[in-house]
Each structure stands twice: as structure tokens, then as C-alpha cells.
Structure 1
Amino acid sequence: MQKSQRLIQMIMRINAKRSFTVKELADEFGLSTRTITRDLQELSELGVPVYSVQGRGGGYKLLQERLLPPISFTEHEAVAMFFACQTMDYFGSLPFGEGADAALHKFYHYLPADVREQIDRLKNRIMFWSPYRFMSAEVLQTLLHSIMVRSVVTIEYKSSSGVSERNIQPIGLYASSGYWYCPAYCFTREDMRQFRADRILSAELNGTIPCRAEISQKTLLDKPNKEGLEQTIIELELTKKGVWLLESNPRFRSFIQHNKDGSGTLTMGIAVQDMKFYVDLLWQWGDEVKIVGPAEAKAYMHQKIESMRLLYAL
């Protein structure tokens, strides 16, 4: 085996092990401990974050930030990765620290000159726009890390009722309209809750509270179970444009009934406690979407319209 191949395999082995001894590697590779020691020294000089542990039971360990072995990309794959990173340019904060920018720079820097020139022609001509919302990057990184290591997080959360301390077990992170959201099990409320990241004032891993195994199995694809809550039926009439608007929203798309003239209707069950949320959501579409029922939803919409009328009364 060539030395270069051996070093690449060694990077892969020590990435998987995290901690190891020279003798362990020597036995695996069938080499002397002296040769392995020289290889480790060379890897360290190349930037692989290996350090020795002194004392009884010592050996070598990797720093937390490990390096991946070389990965080959085709030009098309590299360009795809470049633009995938660019989709996050307009977010106010990201849970990846400086990793996304560093990865983007590497992909761009190592592309052939003619491909870089093609990408330069596309700058400011392709954008993945998202409304700018300011939030703490440190909070996002803590939430992301907690999901990766399966840890409870203690947060300070600001809601309409004030600031409270919560212990939560995050399920995931997702972005919508520039905001980051974190569905999580709240140990305080003993139920699933959704937290908006910009309202989280601080976040810290809390290893004193064990994670719940059933929560660790959940993903963002698991919808909250609201079968035990009181239900109601919301009915809508949609113009042609209303149909087009609601078809782009996964909450409504599968419930739309189309008319021959392009207009439509919608009937779907919702939890009573979510009624105001849905009316607030429908408000943005104005007269393209009309609430037919229930009466409580129509009354809440009338209340919103009257408040707006008073605000702009001459």
C-alpha cells in the first residue's frame, strides 16, 4: 500500500475511533509502532487535529472538530453544493456557525477557472430569497447540537405572558418565512410545544435531565397528535387566485375541491384551539379566500376587519 493511501485510511480509522493507541493502529495496519508514530506526526503537520494523552491509559485523541478524508466531486456536483450553500445567504442567522461560508469558499476556490467564471456570471442573477429575521446564531447552534448529541436544553423563552425558563428536548429545526422554529417536548408543560428561535433568549445543554426515548425517535415528519383535542370544521370559498394561493401551502393543498371555472372550496378539520391561528393565516389572502364557517372563525375575522377599519378611519 502506498503511503498516501495509508494516510487516507488512517484518517478514516481515527475519525471513527476518536481515541486510540499507537499499538492498536500498528496491529490494524500490520506496521511497527515507530512507523505509525511517524505517520501520526505527519498527519498532525497536515492539520489533522490529533493530540497525545499523557499518563496511565494514555494514547491519542482527536479534537472535537475532526477532518474528513478527501472527497471527490464532479464539476456538476461541486456547482450544486455551491448553490445549495447559497440558498442560506439571506437568513439572518444559521445554526452552522461559519461552516457554511467556509464550505462555500472551498468549493469555489477549488473549482476550475472556467467553472468559476460561469458561476461569477450567475452572481446576483439567481437568489434564494428569505425575509431577514434577526436571531441568535449561538442559540441555533445549541439547539442543533442538542439534537445531534441527544441532550435536553434549558432555555429562557419570551412569550406574550413574559419570560420563563423551560427544559426542552428538541425534535428538529425548520425555517419558514425567515424564522427558525424548534418543535420540542417541554418538560415544564409535559407536552409537545413549538418554539420560535428568535424568542429564545438563551439556550444551554442540560445533562442532568435524561432524554425521553420516545421523543428521540420523533422527526419533523411526525405531526402533533391532536386527536384528543376538541375539533371543528373550517369551510372556505376560494376564487381562482385563492385556489392558486392555497395550493402552495401544504396545510391546505390536499383539502381543496376544484370547480370547473377554476375557483374552489375547502373543508378541513382543525383543533378548536388552532382556529385563530388559521384565521390569522387566511387574513393575508384578503378577498381571495372567504370563510364560510364556523361562526367563531367568521366572528374573529370580523373583529380583525373592524380593528383595521378603526385604525384607518378618517
Structure 2
Amino acid sequence: MHKSQRLLRLIMIVNAKKSFTISELAHDVGVSPRTIFRDLLDLSELGVPLYSIQGRGGGYKLLNESVLPPITFTQSEAIAIYFAAQSLKYFGSLPFGDKAESAQDKFYHFLPPDVQDQIDRLKNKVVIWSPNREMSVSCLTTLLQALMIKSVVTIEYKSSVSGKNTRDIQPVGLYSDRGYWYCPAYCFARRGYRLFRADRIITAILNELITWREDVDRKSVFDWQEDEENSQEKIIFCVSLTSNGLKKLEPNGRFRDFIELQEDGTGCIRMHIPINKLEFYTDMIWELGQDAKIVEPLEAIAYMKRTIEGMNRLYS
């Protein structure tokens, strides 16, 4: 058995056993204990989280982080995975800390030379940009951990309306939009679902004293608002778009399914939105400038006019 094959087999064995001795591994793989000892040193250098057990019996143990068994990828899959991971480097902060970068480095290291050459040629030619917005990595990591272990989180939150306050929340998930990380969550103080912007979370601490709610856990980042929005009064929101406005708006998941294309290359949006989210949706149309015009409702048009008047006063 070649060394590379033996190392891959060892990764699968230690991932399954968690704790083991050198003699056990030597027997399983069919090599000498001295060879296994050298292989374990190589695995440690590659980042496999092993540590030795002191005392009677001795041996080795795998840290809490499991090591995934190897997977075979096609050339196209390998390139896609590499650049998907690379796109994360343009975020100001990630809930995974620096683990995404170290995983990318390991992935690249084990790729065949010809695939590495192709990736090297593409590194400065294929980039997936994301706005770089700084926020607390520790808070993001705590929110992610809470989702994994089913724990409520106590946060100190800086609201643009009510200032600083402390909340007990059960995260529904995490998602990123235009560089910002958002955490939809059930707020125990408000007894309802709220959306928290991660850069406004000052501190986040796991709180196991509050019971995790299974009904909240069944929600996802795609449907957490459905019950609330279905119970709210709706209003028609209609916007006409230039061809350039279409291009700008197509990546926005809130509008994508409601875009109607016209034969001349322009388009429009016609959708029902909750009345209390009218200003929120209007602000997103404001970003399109002269490439979008609100047709209805009148309340949105009036809000847009007030915004324009405010900008005129600012620059007059």
C-alpha cells in the first residue's frame, strides 16, 4: 500500500475509532508500529487534531472535531469547490473563523498537479466579490454554535431605534446579504420572531438555562416570516424597470420571482408585500436610482418623494 493510500485509510480509521493505540493501528493497516508513528506525525502536520493520552494504556485520541473521510471529485467539481471557498475570503467576518481558509488550503494541497495548474491560472481571473463589512467573529461563531447544539443565546444588541438592550433569542439561522450577516431568531422578550443584524450584536453568550423550543427549530431562513406575513395586511407594490434596472435587481432574492420581462427589454415588478414593510422595500428600489420608478402604491411614491426632497436639501 502506497503511503498516500495508507494515510487516507488512517484518516478513516481514526475518525471512526476516536481513541486508539499505535499497536492497534499497526495491526489494522498491516505495517510496523514505527511506520504508524511516523504516519501519525504526518497526519498531525496536515491538521488532523490528534493528541496523546497519558497514563496507563496510553495511546492517542481524536479531538472533538471529526475528520471527514476522503471524497473523490471530478476536475470541474474540484475547481467549483475551490472558488466557492475562495469567495468567503472577501467577507469581513465569517462564523467559521479562519477554518474556511485552512480547509481551502488542505483541499488545494491534495489536488492533482494538473488541476492545481488550472486553478493557479484562474486565481486572478475568477473572483466572487462580496462587500467587506467588519463584525464580531466571536458573536457569529456563537450564533453558529447555538444552531448546532440547540442552545438559546443571550445577546447585547444595539438597535437603531431603541439603543442598547439585552435579549434572549433562539437563532433560526444565519444568512448573508450584501456583505452583512443576518440572524432571524425567536425573541423571548418580544414573544415573536425578529431579524437581528450581526454587526449590531455587541456580545453573544450561550444560555442553556432557557429551554430550546422545537417549534422554532422547525423554521428555516426561508420560511421564518411566513406565519407573521400571512397574518398581516398586504398592499400591492408595483415598480417599472429599465433594462439596466432589471440587471441590478435580478440578483435580489426578494424580487427575483416577481420580475416580468417586456418585449423591449424593460420589465416590471408586481407583488404583494406587508404594509409595515413598505419603507423597507421602497428603500431597496431607491438604490436603483433612475433605473426604477414606483407605480404604486401612493404611500410608497410619497415616501420616495420625501426621500428625494431630503437629498435635495442636503445638497442645496
Cα distance change, pair 83–259 in 1 and its aligned pair in 2 (3 A): closer
Aligned-partner Cα distance in 2 for 1:203–1:91: 20
Q: Cα RMSD (Å) of the superposition?
A: 3.3
**1:131 shift after superposition:** 1.1
Determine the structure 2 residue equivalent to 1:121. Answer: 121
Larger deviation, residues 296-305 vs 218-227? 218-227
Pick closer, same or farther for the CA change 1:72–1:188 going to 2, 3 Å.
Answer: same
Q: Identity of paired residues, percent?
A: 48
1:50: Cα distance to partner?
A: 5.7
Could you tell me which residue of structure 2 aligns to residue 237 of structure 1? Answer: 240
1:246-288 CA-partner distances (Å, limit 9, x unpaired): 3333322333344433333432211111011011111011222
CA spacing shift, 1:212–1:259, aligned 2, 3 Å: same
Paired with 1:117 and 1:237, the residues of 2 have a C-alpha distance of 47
Q: TM-score, normalised by structure 2?
A: 0.81
Q: How much does 1:233 deviate? A: 1.7
Q: 1:21 to 1:163 in 2, by over 3 A?
A: same
1:57-136 aligned within 5 A: 62-136=62-136
- Equivalent residue, structure 1, for 2:3: none
Tell me the residue number matched to 1:202: 203
- CA displacement 1:100-154 (0-9 Å, x = unmatched): 1111111222333343333222222111111110111111111111111111111
Q: Which amino acid aligns with 1:130?
A: S
Give 3-state SS (helix, strand or coil) of 1:221's partner: coil
* TM-score of the two chains, using structure 1 as the length reference: 0.81
Which residue of 1 is the match for residue 165 of structure 2?
A: 164
**How far apart, in 2, do the equivalents of 1:307 and 1:83 lie?**
43
Amino acid at match of 1:255: F
Q: Per the alignment, do residues 67 and 299 of structure 1 end up closer, same or farther by CA in structure 2, a change over 3 Å counting?
A: same
Residue in 2 that maps onto 1:190: 191
The residue type equivalent to 2:105 in the other structure is: H
Asked if residue 246 in structure 1 is aligned to residue 249 in structure 2, the reply is yes
In structure 1, the gaps of 5 or more residues are none
Q: In the alignment, which of 307, 312, 315 is matched to residue 304 of structure 1?
A: 307
1:292 is displaced (CA, Å) by 2.1
Q: Is the 8 A contact 1:11 1:68 kept in 2?
A: no
For 1:70 and 1:248, locate their aligned partners in 2 and report how far apart those are by CA, in whole Å: 34
Offset at 1:60?
8.7
Which ranges of structure 2 fall in alignment gaps of 5 or more residues?
1-5
CA distance in 1, matches of 2:202, 2:40: 39
Contact 2:91 2:130 in 1 (8 A): yes
Match of 1:49 in 2: 50
Number of the residue aligned with 1:217: 218
How far apart, in 2, do the equivalents of 1:267 and 1:172 lie?
29
Question: 1:223: Cα distance to partner?
Answer: 4.6
Does the 8 Å contact 2:12/2:68 carry over to 1? no
- Conserved in 2, the CA contact under 8 Å of 1:182 and 1:194? yes
Moved more, 283-292 or 166-175: 283-292
Structure 1 residue 8: deviation in Å? 5.3
How many aligned positions are there? 296
